[in-house]
Amino acid sequence: MQTLVLPTYEDVLIAARRIEGQAHKTPVLTSRTVNREWGAEVFFKCENFQRMGAFKFRGAFNALSAFDATQRKHGVVAFSSGNHAQGIALSARLLGIPATIVMPHDAPAAKVAATREYGATIISYDRYTEDREAIGRELAERQGLTLIPPYDHPDILAGQATAAKELFEEVGALDALFVCLGGGGLLSGSALATRALAPGCRLYGVEPEAGNDGQQSLRAGTIVKIDTPKTIADGAQTQYLGNYTFAIIKRDVDDILTASDGQLIQAMRFFAERMKMVVEPTGCLGFAAARAMASQLKGQRVGVIISGGNIDLHRYAQLLAE
C-alpha cells in the first residue's frame, strides 16, 4: 500500500466552514430514563434530524464544495445503498452540479425515491453479483464525471467529522463516544474531532454483528474483507473499511463493538417510545452497543451519535412489531 496523506483536524475546520449555513447544526438530546437506568450522563447527537435525514449530507456537501470549475461542469457520480446517494444528490442540486447515482436494485424504496426527487440520474445494479465500484469507475471514465465514494475520501470523512466536533463543542469533553460504523467515514472523522477536542475520550465504533469486518480488521491490523452481510442495518452492509478510514481508525479508535439485529430493534423501539424519534436500524448501532455495556459506564459522560432516520415506514412498522 502506498503512503496515504491522511486528513487532519485542519481539514475538519475547513469542512465546518464550507457546510456552515447549509447543514443543520443538529440537536443534542438527553433522556432522563437512560441517565437514571445507566447511572450516567448520556448525550445523543441527533443526525436523524440532519438535512436529508442523515450525517451523509455533511461529507457530501464538503466534497462537492471542493470541486473545481471543470468538475462542477461535468458532474459527480456516486455509488451508495442510500444515504450517501441522497447526500450527494441534494448537495449537487444545491451547488448546481449534475449527479449520477449507482444504487442497488433492492435499496429501500424511500431512499431511492428521495434520491430521484433531488434530481439525480439513477443507475441500478445487483448488490450480490455486480461490483458497484467498477460500474461507478467506468461511468466516471466514459463521461468525465468525478467519482465520490461513500466513505474512503479525505473530504468525505472530514465532513462527517463535523458532527462529533459540534457535539464536543456543545457538551464539552466526554469519557466515551459510540459511533455507528459501516465503511468508517463517520468513525474516522469522529476520531479526528475526538483526538483534537477530547483526547482522553474512549472512542468506539459499532458495526452489525453479522458484518464485523471492522472488528476483525482492527484485531488483524490489516483490512479484512467479508461477503455482503445480511442485516437490517442497511447503511452498514459494507464489506471492508477504506484505506484512509482504516489508517485513522487503527491509529485513533479504542475498540470496535458489534450489535445484533435484535438489539437494534430494541433500540429503535426505545427511541420511538421514549424519545419520540424515528431512527433507522443503522442509526441505532452506537446506542445498542453502549446499552449492552451500560454497567461499565456508571458515573461517566457518554456520547452517542445517532447517524440517521431514513427508513421506509412500512418496513419500520414491521420491525417494531417483531
Interaction site with ligand PLP (CB under 6 A): 54, 56, 83, 150-151, 160, 180-187, 235-236, 238, 280, 282-283, 307-308
Query: What's the 3-state SS for the chain?
Result: CCCCCCCCHHHHHHHHHHHCCCCCCCCEECCHHHHHHHCCEEEEEEHHHCHHHECHHHHHHHHHHCCCHHHHHHCEEEECCCHHHHHHHHHHHHHCCCEEEEEECCCCHHHHHHHHHCCCEEEEECCCCCCHHHHHHHHHHHHCCEECCCCCCHHHHHHHHHHHHHHHHHHCCCCEEEEECCCCHHHHHHHHHHHHHCCCCEEEEEEEHHHCHHHHHHHHCCCCCCCCCCCCCHHHCCCCCCHHHHHHHHHHCCEEEEECHHHHHHHHHHHHHHHCCCCCHHHHHHHHHHHHCHHHHCCCEEEEEECECCCCHHHHHHHHHC
Write down the least CB distance from residue 41 to ligand PLP, Å. 24
Distant-in-sequence, close-in-space partners of 130: CB < 8 Å, separation ≥ 6? none
Nearest approach, Cβ of residue 156 and ligand PLP (Å)? 8
Nearer to ligand PLP, 75 or 108 (CB): 108
> Of 104 and 283, which has the nearer Cβ to ligand PLP?
283
56 is catalytic: yes
Based on CB atoms, which residue is closest to ligand PLP, 100 or 190? 190
Q: Write down how long the chain is.
A: 322
The active-site residue, picked from 81, 190, 217, 307, is 81
Closest approach of Cβ 232 to ligand PLP, in Å?
A: 12
CA 191 vs CA 68, 150, 176, 267: distances in Å: 28, 17, 12, 24
For ligand PLP, the closer CB: 117 or 141? 117
Residue nearest to ligand PLP (CB): 308
Catalytic residue among 56, 80, 188, 217: 56
**Cβ contact 78:99 at 8 Å:** yes
**Residue with grid cell 464485523, as numbered in its chain:** 212
Task: Tell me the closest approach of the beta carbon of residue 76 to ligand PLP, in angstroms.
Answer: 17
45 is catalytic: no
Q: Supply the minimum distance, in Å, between the C-beta of residue 139 and ligand PLP.
A: 21
Q: Which has the closest alpha carbon to 310: 62, 44, 87, 63? A: 87
**Least CB distance to ligand PLP at residue 271 (A):** 13
- Which of residues 70 and 164 has its CB atom nearest to ligand PLP in the complex? 164
Minimum CB distance to ligand PLP smaller for 41 or for 122: 122
Which cell is 285 given? 448501532
- Kindly tell me which of 59 and 75 has the beta carbon lying closer to ligand PLP: 59
Minimum distance from residue 208 beta carbon to ligand PLP (Å): 10
Q: What residues are annotated to the active site?
A: 56, 81
